[in-house]
């Protein structure tokens, strides 16, 4: 029985870690591409596009901003841990979306 649980737990852990890392990678690619291609939004359509892109680029932007603030001692340890937790969950959701699309295509 313990081998059965260990096997399933390790598989689920690997899927979880793969989803989080895939979500962070996807988020970083989107954020970097957007920073290279876009300027500050000056119209309502530009603002809508900015928010739509940030829905996908959010985890890497949040981690970057939180790390910068933490290094400058602008936020507490708890705030930094909460930012990491939120960004990790956000990346997990993005990664699961990627895995779902891959499963449908395959």
Determine what percent of the chain is predicted with pLDDT higher than 90: 70
Structural domains counted in the chain? 1
DSSP per residue, 73-94: T-S-HHHHHHHHHHHHHHHHHH
26: containing domain: 2-105
Tell me which residue of 91, 86, 98 sits closest to 17, measured CA to CA.
91
Determine what percent of the chain is predicted with pLDDT higher than 70: 95
Q: What are 105's two structure tokens? A: 């295509």
Rounded to the nearest 10 degrees, the angle between the axes of helix 44-71 and helix 77-105 is 130
Confidence (pTM): 0.84
pLDDT band (50, 70, 90) for residue 3: low
36 alpha carbon, distance to own chain's centre = 19
Q: For residue 9, what pLDDT is reported?
A: 83
How far is Cα 63 from Cα 40, in angstroms, rounded to an integer?
20
- 47-91 pLDDT, tens digit each: 899 999 999 999 999 999 999 999 998 889 999 999 999 999 999
44 has a pLDDT exceeding 60: yes
């Amino acid at each position: 029985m313990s081998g059965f649980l260990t096997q399933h737990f390790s598989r689920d852990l690997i899927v979880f870690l793969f989803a989080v890392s895939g979500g962070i990678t996807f988020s970083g690619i989107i954020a970097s591409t957007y920073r290279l291609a876009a300027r500050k939004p000056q119209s309502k359509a530009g603002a809508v596009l900015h928010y739509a892109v940030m829905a996908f680029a959010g985890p890497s932007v949040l981690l970057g901003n939180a790390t910068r603030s933490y290094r400058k001692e602008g936020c507490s340890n708890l705030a930094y841990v909460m930012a990491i937790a939120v960004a990790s969950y956000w990346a997990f959701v993005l990664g699961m979306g990627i895995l779902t699309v891959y499963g449908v295509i395959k």
